[in-house]
Amino acid sequence: MAKASSRGMLTWLGLAFGILLLDQISKGLVLLFFRLGEVIPVTSFFNLARVHNPGAAFSFLAQAGGWQRWLFTAIGIAAAVFIVWMLRAHAGQRLFAFSLSCLLGGAIGNVIDRLVHGHVIDMFDFHFRWLAPLFPGGHFPAFNVADAAITVGAVGLIVDELLRVRRSR
């Protein structure tokens, strides 16, 4: 039983590490090939860009003066520790563990950025005219692989909980 649990835990930590690796490689390429603020159109609705975000999602607290770097770093580290603890207890629950792994890889990816650069490096810029009432020029806030993984993880947790509630009826 312990070996199966350890194997499951290693699988989920491996997934988190893969996400972290993909995130850091993509950010490294952006730092290598893009100047700050540079935008390269890819399609009519998608650009690759180099954006530095000292805040959190949607640039929350981006103009706060620097203290937010340490707050968001501490939150990310605390979340990672909690997620690893949860993974140990629930490695056999596939959707739940998958979701936690996505959250873990994304959280650590953004923590590394904050520690190394003082901000998070974003590169994916989607824009649609119908978003203009919500976002300047219709540009959804730029994001990165870690942010996408965190979003997938959050959606997975919601779906897992809905399925759990449905099964208990």
The CA-based diameter of the chain, rounded to the nearest angstrom, is 55
- Does the annotation mark 160 as catalytic? no
- Does the annotation mark 113 as catalytic? no
Supply the DSSP string of 135-168, one letter for each residue: SGGGBPPPB-HHHHHHHHHHHHHHHHHHHHHHHH
Catalytic residue among 23, 113, 125, 147: 147
Catalytic residue among 23, 113, 122, 160: 122
Q: Strand, coil or helix: what is 122?
A: strand
Residues carrying an active site annotation: 122, 147
